[in-house]
Amino acid sequence: MKDIDLNERVEEIELVLSTLFELPKAPATSSYDDGAIFFIQAPG
């Protein structure tokens, strides 16, 4: 199986979250990786 690039995977997750929260603009989520913790923020 091919390894998926981390940035590509994060983008896929952001798109799913945008759909889940019915945000008007996709992707309207943002992410931040500080090394130990990975944050994904969806405006509400």
- pLDDT for 35: 79
| Per-residue model confidence as pLDDT tens for the chain (44 residues) | 456 687 788 788 877 777 777 766 555 567 777 778 877 776 66
- pLDDT for 34: 78
Q: Where are the domains of the chain?
A: 6-40
Dihedral sign computed on CA atoms, order 33, 20, 18, 2: positive
- pLDDT for 24: 60
- pLDDT for 5: 81
